[in-house]
Amino acid sequence: MKATIAMFVASAMTIMLASPSLAEGKRAPELPLEDFFRLPTKTAYRLSPDGTHYAFLQPWEDRLNIHVAKIGEEAKRITSSTERDIRAYAWVNDDSLVYLQDKGGDENYHVYALKKDGSGILDLTPFEGVRAGILDDLEDDEDHILVEMNRRNPQIFDVYKVNIHNGNMEMVAENPGTVGGWMTDHDGVIRIAYAMDGLKRTILYREKASEDFSPIFSTDFTDSVIPVGFTADNSKLYVLSNLDRNTKALYLFDPAKRSFVEMLYERDDVDLSGIMWSRERKKLLGVTYYTDKNQRHFFDDQTRNLFSRLEARFPGYSVGISSMSKDERKMIVAIASDRMPGRLYYHDLDRPEEFDLVADLYPWIDENQMAHMKPISYVTDDGLTIHGYLTLPVGVPAKDLPVVVNPHGGPEVRDTWGYSPEVQFLANRGMAVLQVNYRISTGYGKDFWMAGFKQWGKKHQDDITDGVRWLIDQGIADPKRIAIYGASYGGYATLMGLIRDPELYACGIDYVGVANLFTLLESIPPYWELARQKMYETIGHPEKDEELFREISPVFHADKIVAPLFIAQGANDPRVKKAESDQMVEAMKARGVQVQYMVKDDEGHGFQNQENRFDFYRAMEGFLTEHLKLKE
């Protein structure tokens, strides 16, 4: 079952810096740029339902392709993609798989099926300009999957039952025009639709596939009641909700009575993010949430004991289970940390002491040469606690360092703890990296999220600036060597940082970033249309808030940018169109200021192809070396 419903106060700052032994130790050697950004040796292992085979992604012709192996035997490559990496795939049965792929970064994904020996590749959604995704793999149906597509109307997604052998399909759920997500029960029947009508959010429900959907609960968009799964008998729902509270808690909900039954788990500091469910035992195992790191609360002793055993076997690492056989006896265990990008082990519960290494994702990365990502927090002048991360270069005193401020994209997401090739690359070059979960970042409750409404380029930016000034006050940052770099919304924050605080930043790098709020909302992908009214509330309305939009759109304030600027853009970006970056470059040129501008014709919202990543980060390194005076 799957749901797609997918002014600073210095005295209040707390931070954990690198240990004295690390800071006083030997500086890490300068590693090749390619080591950070090249493809992994192998990744994304998935066990077949019977547990006898596993599939994984491995580079071939500099693109990630699917390979399949019987446990203990040599693998065979079964796809031959040379245009784009294959990033997402799944087993449908013990003999067949499906995968998703777009063209040139346009995000119009097609769903393909093939046999585990590589034969019979079939495009199940051979429609131009259509975006498709897998809603449910239909665990108990070996011949079909449920696919969402905006074929009938580019703004909304209907659901089709598709035969993986011949591509035959039938519509099983027609979108009335307001549904933004669907959810199936444990039998693969679509029982829930999540409707978006302006600022209203409604859960639609039906008892059987033959019945019409009926509303069972409605809220304003700021209040969440989000179904995340059915109970074992398919009669009740598990929902995450912040109704009448700040953070999302887990509840049992009775759709027949249209009422909450009981609260199952809550936290006052952060939102709950999802549930852990056993398909085999049809049982709720636990719930997940994120503080400084990913956390779990268990309802099931067997699962609690399993994770306790895994954590004892791999102390100091974050552990997870990335794939399991249908009987849940065989699994792929994943371990990682902020300094180690990942290792995968095959584990059979019938051999509890044995863990067979199947992949070291990036064996050339020596974690002893990588930097620690340390949680930080501080309180703003209006009383909000801001959380983030600070990474300091290895073996370098935390004093007068060049700094890269790296605001996240979204903006309604959050930075998390873990290995980041970007962060480690910058730290390896001697720079500190500051990541800030500014207001509107998700996971910290409704109040923190709403405090960021209509604050693009304003209080969002203040939260970022406050962290930078603290680094300067503490002597960690060299005030003359601070850069700001971000992607998507982070690219926008880069431009606004250079505009609002021209004395603070020595240079900026805008990667697929927004330059003009008016044109951004004019050119959103058609399948974002249901969220337009919500964007008007969280960002602003181009007509009602015209003055605000002119104030916070970088393109109208290019005259305030005095620091060197580097812009990178994918020509096929469906989210932040190339026109956004073109406008900014032209506005700078009109002032007689040249901007370093990189455009990749075969990319979209971020560079996926390895050679393009190399080009971008090589240019970034040269740009930062020059303007932060890294090598004098």
Catalytic residues, which ones?
Answer: 488, 573, 605
**How far is 266 from 269, CA to CA, in rounded Å?**
9
- 622: amino acid identity, one letter: G
Element (H, E) at 600: strand 596-600
85 and 64 in contact (C-beta within 8 Å)?
yes
**How far is 205 from 193, CA to CA, in rounded Å?**
7
Phi, psi (degrees; rounded to nearest 5) at 77: -75, 135
Q: Torsion angle, CA of 420/425/430/436, rounded to 10 degrees?
A: -30
The residue assigned the tokens 């969220």 is 531
The residue assigned the tokens 């002597």 is 475
**E strands of 431-487, at which residues?**
432-437, 477-487
252 and 229 in contact (C-beta within 8 Å)?
no
**How far is 230 from 254, CA to CA, in rounded Å?**
10
Adjacency order of strands within the sheet including 200-205: 179-184, 190-197, 200-205, 214-220
Q: Residue 153 has which token pair? A: 């109307």
Please spell the DSSP secondary structure of 262-277, one letter per residue: EEEE--SSS-EEEEEE
Query: Own/partner pairs for 81-90, CB < 8 Å, 24+ apart?
Result: 83/602, 84/608, 84/609, 85/39, 85/57, 85/608, 85/609, 86/57, 87/57, 87/608, 89/44, 89/46, 89/55, 89/57, 90/46, 90/134, 90/137
Distances (CA, A) of 44 to 86, 88, 123, 360, 463: 10, 8, 22, 11, 36
Helices 489-500 & 459-473 angle (0-180, nearest 10) = 70
Coil vs helix vs strand at 599: strand
Please spell the DSSP secondary structure of 487-537, one letter per residue: ETHHHHHHHHHHHH-TTT-SEEEEES----HHHHHHS--GGGGGGHHHHHH
